[in-house]
Chain A
Amino acid sequence: MATNISTAMLAQLQQRHTITALVENHPGVLARVSGLFARRGYNIESLAVSVTENPDISRMTIVVGGDHLVLEQITKQLHKLIEVIKVVDYTEQPAVDRELALIKVGAEPRHRNEIMQIVEIFRGRIIDMSDKTFIIEVTGGSEKLDKVAELLGAYGIKELVRTGIIAMARGPRTA
């Protein structure tokens, strides 16, 4: 399966953009943004929202697919929403991005050591344990999380949840 994905995924990756929108922290703003994406047929891969250092402002980090023309339209359409204050595209500037995953994986006693090794290599943490399962917490870039999930797949993933990417510009620059 991995080989099947590679070419298609590579093309996808080239067309994947991480953008951040600073928005007024009002009820309904999320609906406006997600409605816009649905209406105009833009494809959201992930969306993370939370309040910022200023409680009046929320920050949305959106990962979208599409070429630069599509991205330009998305940016402009986002700007048209009255409650959107600023839109930044992190694709072409130095930025860090992170995502967090919680993975509930089958952990029979005979597999526990192997799983713990994987967790250690990827600097994850085991944050819950039962007689049959672990919950593993991993943070990192999306590809790292993909890889961890793939490796843990061998032991049976019971449940998986990811936060979606959040991003920030490197250096003193702010959004």
Chain B
Amino acid sequence: MKMSGAKILLECLRREGVQHVFGYPGGAVLPIYDALYDCTEIEHVLVRHEQGAAHMADGYARATGKVGVCLSTSGPGATNMVTGIATAYMDSIPMVAITGQVRTSVIGKDAFQEVDATGVTLPVTKHNFLVKRTADLPRVIAEAFYIARTGRPGPVVIDLPLDVSIDQIEWDPESYTQNVDIPSYRPNTRGHELQIKKAAQAIAEAQRPVLYVGGGCVAAGAQMELTELSERTNILTTTTLLGKGSIDETHRNSIGMLGMHGTAYANHAVNNCDLLIAVGARFDDRVTGKVDRFAPNAKIIHIDIDPAEIGKVVQPDIPIVGDVKLVLQDLLKHVKPRPWSSWNDQIMEWKRLFPLLYPDDGKLYAEYIIEKIGEATDWKAIMTTDVGQHQMWAAQYYKTRRTRQFITSGGLGTMGYGMPAAIGVQKAFPDETVVCLSGDGSFQMCTQELMTASVYGLPIIVAIINNRSLGMVRQWQHMFYSQRYSHTNLEASPDYVRLAEAYGAVGMRVAQPGEVVSVLERALAVRDRPTVIDCVIPTEENVYPFIPSGQTVEQMMIRKDLEQLKAKVHTDSEVWSFADEERVLEQYVETVEKNQ
């Protein structure tokens, strides 16, 4: 059958199971858009800026585990997607980004809207292709999807010149195959048997083990295996920002997130453990702080699908290269049950000593809003976030029940990610509740996508944690730059309620804790359009705990009013004596001294 490159592209996408493409047209992709005009099987979502398209495809991929697809024209269309592609790359998200390109005959001649897309995206893609002949297109698409979703997933760019889309060739759609064989690309999925036995042995021998779980566990879909491991061995589990949900955070074995803004107890646990089992995590600097003082007394097991992660930051004692799910399945064959240990009690005591708390003083706090969002949705809402203080509060307070429920830009830390990601999520799951927790800074980086959400009638809820400043930068200026708040003041901002209404969304404002529940109820009742809630919180709030960049647990800052907050909480719940507390503190100091 004679088919144009554009038609072949859509047919191949269809055969890859693609149902949604997020994109924006332009000169170099006119033939593709013409083919889309009467394509019924693939829904194209018209965005307002190509960065939004990339974030939507990324959000879609994170929520579903499938490959997200975005499409832009050449030149500025391609460069606008770069931030989104880099975001996906840093967090290992499977994505295929298709960029238009000028005709092959004028490539390299500085043609109108020409940019070297494969060159520009080279450092931020798992792989990229410049298609020079229409006949290559089916193979390239199959390889692109295969590379994006297998091994350590990542974004792949296909740069598609105009004439390649136009040219007609004889092609049999039935010849398309997803069975790709690239001799130079064969990811190892099965862990080494001997290493797995060694790991099981180390787990059996450990006195003070901790599980440290990252995004690799999510990518592998290994929540069940991980939970089984944690339950059988009674090893308490901390996750990274991207690993959130790998174990239900209401599970008694979950000790929350670790790292710079992680829980104090997770950080103390890692600091004092004698065995650290890293599962699909990459020892990011936001997790480790000062690397040579990270888990200083621990033997390290490192399970990762990417061999290059082994030894990149720390040298593990027992490296295991393989798919996290398969490795954990094999590991579970050898791991014997362990009872709840006094070490776990120790961690629980740290948890009582340094709980996550915020004031109940009549002011509206982000933490409260996040908890109320959770309660109002039975902790089932899929939450996306932007980047900054609100993101860290969300990580601390949004009790994530499952993987793919907490969607955030971790590695690149891309402000503006949250709302387009929420659109991608809602497109994938029209019936789910999707909440984007944003900040007033982040929200303004991709505001235009509110129109996209509005046009498609997507009932996403955008809660803007509005402190009228770039809170996280302000926090650092507060602590390390003598309160010189250089250019972090956002007092001059639009009226978000009226802005929402201008975009056809519902706009609401909340400034009192007492109003939060009713506002959320009203927002959740809206099912045909987005809702923006302007949540006005105090400017001065900082995120605690806080381990400053490149430092250790010893430098961890705890909020100054924690003692009063604890006293208040414990007067009406469990009995808490200061004698207890002193004993626990002494014990902690002893343990630290003994271990170091």
Is the beta-carbon distance between A24 and B184 smaller than 8 angstroms?
A: yes
- Is the CB–CB distance between B184 and A80 below 8 Å? no
- Given A24-B184, A32-B122, verify A79-B127 contact (CB < 8 Å): no
In the complex, A85 has a CB within 8 A of chain B: yes
Query: Could you say which interface size class chain A belongs to?
Result: 20 to 34
Contact call B306/A80, Cβ cutoff below 8 A: yes
Q: How far is the CA of A55 from the CA of B315 in the complex (A)?
A: 39
Report B-chain residues with C-beta under 8 Å of the C-beta of A85.
Answer: 183-184
A-facing residues in B191-232 (Cβ within 8 Å): none
Contact between chains at B311 and A73 (CB < 8 Å): yes
Determine the residue in chain B with the shortest Cβ distance to A84.
B184
* CB of B515, distance to nearest CB on chain A (Å): 50
Q: How far is the CB of B124 from chain A (nearest CB, A)?
A: 10
Chain B's closest residue to A27 (CB) is B130
B594 on the interface (CB 8 Å rule)? no
- Residues of chain A lying within 8 A (CB to CB) of residue B119: 31
**Cβ of A86: which chain B residues have Cβ within 8 Å of it?**
184
| A82 interfacial contact with B, CB 8 Å | yes
B307 contacts A35, CB within 8 Å? Answer: no
| Prevailing SS type, chain A contact patch | helix
Within 8 A of B (CB), among A24-41: 24, 28, 31-32, 35, 39
B308 touches A76 (CB 8 A): yes
Q: Is B185 an interface residue (CB 8 A)?
A: yes
Q: In this complex, which of B122, B310, B315 has the most chain A Cβ atoms within 10 angstroms of its Cβ?
A: B122
Complex: chain B residue closest to A80, CB-CB: B308
Question: Which residue among B127, B182, B184, B307 has the maximum number of chain A CB atoms within 10 Å of its CB?
Answer: B184
State whether the Cβ of B506 lies closer than 8 Å to any Cβ in chain A: no
Q: Please encode chain B, from 107 to 134, with 1 for each CB lying within 8 Å of some chain A CB and 0 for all others.
A: 0000000000011001100110010000
B residues less than 8 Å from A39 (CB atoms): 123
The minimal Cβ–Cβ distance linking B126 to chain A, given in whole angstroms, is 8
Q: Is the CB of B183 within 8 A of A77?
A: no
Confirm or deny: B147 has a beta carbon within 8 angstroms of a beta carbon on chain A: yes
Task: Report the nearest A residue to B126, measured CB to CB.
Answer: A82
Q: Do B185 and A82 have beta carbons less than 8 Å apart? A: yes
- Say yes or no: B184 contacts A77, CB within 8 Å: no
| Contact of A82 with B307 in the complex, beta carbons under 8 Å | no
* B187 nearest in chain A by CB position: A80
A82 & B184 in contact (Cβ 8 Å cutoff):
yes
Asked if B560 is at the interface of the complex by the 8 Å CB criterion, the answer is: no
Q: Do residues B308 and A79 form an inter-chain contact, with CB atoms below 8 A?
A: yes
Q: Given A35-B123, A81-B127, 10 more contacts at CB 8 Å?
A: A24-B184, A28-B118, A31-B122, A32-B122, A39-B123, A72-B311, A76-B307, A79-B307, A82-B126, A82-B147
Q: List 19 A-B contacts (CB under 8 A).
A: A28-B130, A32-B122, A35-B122, A35-B123, A69-B311, A73-B308, A73-B311, A76-B307, A76-B308, A77-B308, A79-B307, A79-B308, A80-B306, A81-B127, A82-B126, A82-B127, A82-B147, A82-B184, A85-B183
The 7 closest A-B pairs by CB, nearest first: A76-B308, A85-B184, A82-B127, A82-B185, A76-B307, A77-B308, A39-B123
